[in-house]
Amino acid sequence: MIAIKFLPAAREIRVPEGTTILQAAVKAGVPMESTCGGKGTCGKCKVQIVQGIAAPATPTEIKHLSSAEREGGWVLACQQVLAQDAVVRLREQKDVYQRKTDFKSGGQTALAPSIHKYFLSLTPPGVEDQTPDWERLTQSLSLGEIAFSRQVAASLPKVLRQGNFQVTAVLEGKQLLKVEAGDTTERCFGVAVDIGTTTVVVYLMDLNTGRAAASGALTNPQQVFGADVISRITHAAGGPDKLGELQEKVVGGLNEIIARLCREKGIEKEEIYQAVVVGNTTMAHLFLGIDPTYLAPAPFIPAFRQMVDVEAREVGLDILAGARVVVLPNVAGYVGSDTVGVMLAAAADRLTGISLLVDIGTNGEMVLAGRGRILTCSTAAGPAFEGAEIKYGMRAAEGAIEGVSIGRDVELKIIGGGQARGICGSGLIDAIAEMFKAGVIGPSGRFAGEAQELEPLPSALRARLRKGERTSEFVLVWGKDTLSGEDLVLTQKDIREMQLAKGAIIAGIRILAKEMGVNPAEIDRVLLAGAFGSYIKKESALGIGLLPPLSLERIQTIGNAAGDGAKMALLSGEERERAKALAQKAEHIELSNKQEFQNEFLQGLDFRRTEG
């Protein structure tokens, strides 16, 4: 057995010889960025060997690491097989969510949580009144018959006597969740949870005030099994053990955040009485430990889609064991409760005119609401928008290029203001829109190469265009201004990845419009949801033809609307019912089943503004 320690968390684990660093990290529960699931194609799992000896670099490592990096002890965790004890340091990762916990809540939700606390002053029993404890308590609630709870009854005798028969009962409807000694009505919490394929977010909500007490985010620890939902489903299809692994990973991540938030705010986990969860359909299956195998192949059949609620203990969520965990309903295999959360937060059932909701994450979901209908579709937007499959792609974290403008030369906006480490989705759209405007790439997405294409370019831009190892590339940042010291480039392949992603999205939007019988130009408002939607420059999105050609003022960003929807559903039982109705009303359009989709997709690859 070999000992390996991961910095900065200093987590240590013993593994058999022959284990890769990535496998060891998975086993130790150390969150490590890896979007290919250890296949060696993404190059994201960089770690630095601080103690111990690295094996000679593999061809894969030579491809993904600069020689400076390799000399500095940097390796790919998926490539290095451990032969002796080692200490490795993970790359620093400041998640963008941690810098912006100030998302505005969904707004006008009337505070009407289904959790109620009742302070009770009971008459103690005596030989003339042998009423059992359960009856004594529940009869004093005057709510009719309360469903029996073995868990609450188990410790009820002690709690009643600890509190001298002065206790607080915590109820959800007619379900008694907990009895606390004394008067605790002042303290009442719940969590809203947004499980993204890439990032999981927890909002700790005060159910007495409706305000977020705190929130926190983490990379979805399932990431080690691959970046996209298909690789997660493939892993889960390996059997109940594998499915269990994925379930434990994500719940473990949520529990880590919950523990941290509770510590920060001086709250006991047992004071969290309810959870509302949103996520895409695959994430909902995995969170609940339900086999998602048949979501992957056509005809993409989920095991369930309705609103589900389970006890926290059943899924291992570390809040009050008997608390109900509500997972909002899904619409279809690839339109999940996160999209329902977006619809809820955007009030898709109350908007006038024609509204387009776009939530681009690892997948892209689109909702077109109008004419009394709600239509949904989804496309494998590809992880391009989140930086995967892009040579220098990264998530919107410190060091990421998030804005690009091109005039005589390239100007950048970098998260945190320091040296560039890579480029995130919004930066990429900016870069491509500007490159297209400047003539660095043509409408088909090909880099300028012919003399008549190169000639009009400013010399500074011409200097940035060059042949790379395999394909052409454009130097976005020269090595002197990057953290690694090497040139940061966009390759022809990067452009193609983005083209495929945006082509699928605009095609989906056009199919929805056609289904509703409206012209895309008639859309009254476009609401961009998600972290990506919040950062995207609207001009650039229009510039590359990601959205239909609409005037800028019709386009709004609405922040992490999926999470806002979860909060609303936590704060109001009525909003939960509305979420249910929204999911039922939604008509899902399966794009893979539409002949015209291929045609729209091919047309959508073009960077020219799509005509209405």
Q: Does 130 bind its own copies (CB under 8 A)?
A: yes
Q: Does 350 bind its own copies (CB under 8 A)?
A: no
Q: Does 291 bind its own copies (CB under 8 A)?
A: yes
Exactly one of 85, 252, 300, 587 binds its own copies (CB under 8 A); which one?
300
What is the closest distance, in whole angstroms, from the C-beta atom of residue 148 to its own copies in the complex? 5
- Residue among 154 and 552 whose Cβ is closer to its own copies: 154
Under rule CB under 8 A, which residues in 431-490 are in contact with its own copies? none
Q: Does 587 bind its own copies (CB under 8 A)?
A: no
**Helices 281-288 and 229-236, interaxial angle, to 10°?**
30
- Residue among 310 and 432 whose Cβ is closer to its own copies: 310
273: tokens are: 């009485």
Instruction: Give CA–CA dist 522/612, Å, rounded.
Output: 8
Q: Does 156 bind its own copies (CB under 8 A)?
A: yes
Instruction: Give CA–CA dist 494/46, Å, rounded.
Output: 20
Burial of 514 from C-beta contacts in 10 A (0-12 / 13-18 / 19+):
middle
Instruction: Give CA–CA dist 217/193, Å, rounded.
Output: 10
- Residue among 173 and 458 whose Cβ is closer to its own copies: 173
Angle at 201 between CA 200 and CA 205, to 5 degrees: 150
- Residue among 248 and 590 whose Cβ is closer to its own copies: 590
Q: Does 153 bind its own copies (CB under 8 A)?
A: yes
Give the CA radius of gyration of the chain: 26
Instruction: Give CA–CA dist 489/447, Å, rounded.
Output: 13
Region near its own copies per CB under 8 A, out of 24-32, 122-130, 187-195, 355-363: 122-130
Q: Does 158 bind its own copies (CB under 8 A)?
A: yes
CB 326 within 8 A of CB 338: no
CB 231 within 8 A of CB 246: no
Instruction: Give CA–CA dist 204/195, Å, rounded.
Output: 14
User: In terms of Cα–Cα distance, which of 356, 83, 310, 327 is closest to 194?
Assistant: 327
Q: Does 141 bind its own copies (CB under 8 A)?
A: no
561: tokens are: 């609307």
Under rule CB under 8 A, which residues in 35-54 are in contact with its own copies? none
What is the closest distance, in whole angstroms, from the C-beta atom of residue 321 to its own copies in the complex? 11
Region near its own copies per CB under 8 A, out of 112-120, 286-294, 510-518, 576-584: 286-294
Size of the site for its own copies (CB under 8 A): 48
What is the closest distance, in whole angstroms, from the C-beta atom of residue 158 to its own copies in the complex? 6
CB 529 within 8 A of CB 338: no
**Helices 573-585 and 337-346, interaxial angle, to 10°?**
110
What is the closest distance, in whole angstroms, from the C-beta atom of residue 327 to its own copies in the complex? 10
Region near its own copies per CB under 8 A, out of 46-54, 302-310, 370-378, 435-443: 302-310
Instruction: Give CA–CA dist 359/198, Å, rounded.
Output: 14
Instruction: Give CA–CA dist 119/137, Å, rounded.
Output: 11
Question: How far is residue 556 CA from its own chain's centroid?
Answer: 20
Instruction: Give CA–CA dist 381/541, Å, rounded.
Output: 14
C-alpha pair distances (Å), 407 with each of 124, 176, 411, 449: 81, 65, 8, 19
Region near its own copies per CB under 8 A, out of 76-84, 285-293, 366-374, 424-432: 285-293
What is the closest distance, in whole angstroms, from the C-beta atom of residue 291 to its own copies in the complex? 5
Q: Does 7 bind its own copies (CB under 8 A)?
A: no
Instruction: Give CA–CA dist 584/306, Å, rounded.
Output: 9
- Residue among 306 and 556 whose Cβ is closer to its own copies: 306
What is the closest distance, in whole angstroms, from the C-beta atom of residue 298 to its own copies in the complex? 6
366: which strand partners? 358, 377
Region near its own copies per CB under 8 A, out of 15-23, 384-392, 458-466, 585-593: 585-593
Q: Does 261 bind its own copies (CB under 8 A)?
A: no
Q: Does 308 bind its own copies (CB under 8 A)?
A: yes
Q: What per-residue string of b and e applies to 362-399 under the rule 16 or more CB within 10 Å gives b?
A: bbbbbbbbbeeebbbbbbbbbbbbbbbbbbbbbbbbbb
Region near its own copies per CB under 8 A, out of 50-58, 294-302, 369-377, 600-608: 294-302
CB 378 within 8 A of CB 334: yes
- Residue among 18 and 157 whose Cβ is closer to its own copies: 157
- Residue among 300 and 478 whose Cβ is closer to its own copies: 300
Would you give the binding string for its own copies spanning residues 520-539, x where CB under 8 A is met? --------------------
Q: Does 299 bind its own copies (CB under 8 A)?
A: yes
Q: Does 233 bind its own copies (CB under 8 A)?
A: no
Region near its own copies per CB under 8 A, out of 91-99, 202-210, 297-305, 516-524: 297-305
Exactly one of 310, 441, 495, 605 binds its own copies (CB under 8 A); which one?
310
- Residue carrying the six token digits 């061809």: 59
Q: Does 303 bind its own copies (CB under 8 A)?
A: yes
Burial of 125 from C-beta contacts in 10 A (0-12 / 13-18 / 19+):
middle
Burial of 263 from C-beta contacts in 10 A (0-12 / 13-18 / 19+):
exposed
- Residue among 35 and 281 whose Cβ is closer to its own copies: 281
- Residue among 299 and 417 whose Cβ is closer to its own copies: 299
Residues in contact with its own copies by the rule CB under 8 A: 125-135, 148, 150, 153-158, 161, 240, 243, 288-291, 293-294, 298-306, 308-310, 314-315, 332-333, 588, 590, 592-593
